[in-house]
Structure 1
Amino acid sequence: MPSKAPVLVLAGSLALLAGAFGFEHVGGLVPCEMCWWQRWALMATAFFAADALALGMVARRQPAMGAAVAATAWVAILGLASNAGIALYHAGVEQKWWQGLTRCTAPPVAGDARAMMADILAQPLVRCDAIPWQMFGISMAGWNFVISFLLVGAATWLMLKPPKTFR
């Protein structure tokens, strides 16, 4: 029964989300569009990892559910791998390795035309090709890739390693 991999994927995706939202709400860094793509992938990953854990509890009473647990755990790992791919793409755009989006983003606005124009002009311009924060020369998107890649590797290893048998 694969139970450690979903726990690792769930904890990792929630930690990455907490870091992203922390940088936004505590650090004041407004996310760009590609940052949101990564967050959506992490939210989906967390959902499927939590689902795999819930199915794992059911499978303890109904062993026939074991295949559903494993399949859902693999979907969660695939979600984390997707996040790693998006993060790598974003980091490459930041480093000017390849072309990114041709538009920038700002938070949504609403109201009449005059109020909307005032809101638009007051919003911060968030560029996907700018690095708002980095550590050791690696941007947040780069760290997201590194951490996600390592988590995917560890979760895959946990899923593929043979179960312990006691004699």
Structure 2
Amino acid sequence: MTRNRLIMLAAGGSAAMLLAAWGFQYLGGMAPCKLCIWQRYPHGAAALIGALALASGWRILTWGGALAALSTGGIGLYHAGVEQGWWEGPTTCTSGPIGNLSAEQLMAQILEAPLVRCDDIPWELFGISMAGWNGVISIGLALIWLLAATRRA
């Protein structure tokens, strides 16, 4: 497979992942959490990098596409771990202990809490959440980007 075809596959994969996320949000009614949003930015960057790489022919851009795909893959796997309770997520989007909070502190915590928690799993397929699938697929896309980076035009 040529480098340009690999770039189209990798960038198209990121664009498809972004479209799927928007589909789940706007058609499926699943509001994204903070970590879900974070996973979208690198996909957008990878799609843009792909377009720029195809237009310019600059091989260095393929390394940027790989970095973007690895970034979203890492965030996705981190998010999947938060969902499974393997580690804690950002305090702004997971439930935390009430502890010895005063009524005012507790009310402030409730009012500042996001509507969607990062440690809930709203959808899964074969026991893998959306965040987990994003991690796995994005690492595959990163490998395609790396293959494109090492191919001659």
TM-score range for the pair, normalised by the shorter chain length:
0.7 to 0.9
1:160 aligns with 2:153: no
Which shifted more, 148-157 or 30-39?
A: 148-157
Partner Cα distance (1:2, 1:71) in 2: 12
Seq. identity, %: 49
Cα pair 1:5 1:159 within 8 Å, conserved: no
Gaps of 5+ in 2: 95-110
After superposition, the C-alpha distances for 1:36-92 in whole angstroms (9 at most, x for unaligned) are: 101111111111111101112xxxxxxxxxxxx110111111111111011111111
Quote the residue 1:75 is aligned against.
64
Instruction: State the TM-score, normalized to the length of structure 2.
Output: 0.81
1:38 aligns with 2:39: yes
**Residues paired across the two proteins, number:** 136
* Matching residue within 87, 112, 122 for 1:132: 122
Quote the residue 2:138 is aligned against.
148
Return structure 1 stretches of 4+ with deviation > 6 angstroms: none
Gaps of 5+ in 1: 57-68, 106-120
Quote the residue 1:4 is aligned against.
5
Cα pair 2:66 2:146 within 8 Å, conserved: yes
Higher relative contact order (CA 8 A, sep 6+): 2
- Greater C-alpha radius of gyration: 1
Quote the residue 1:28 is aligned against.
29
Partner Cα distance (1:102, 1:39) in 2: 20
Partner Cα distance (2:59, 2:86) in 1: 37
Residue 15 of structure 2 aligns with an amino acid whose one-letter code is L
Cα pair 2:62 2:146 within 8 Å, conserved: no
Give the drift of 1:145: 0.7
Give RMSD over aligned pairs: 2.3
Instruction: State the TM-score, normalized to the length of structure 1.
Output: 0.74
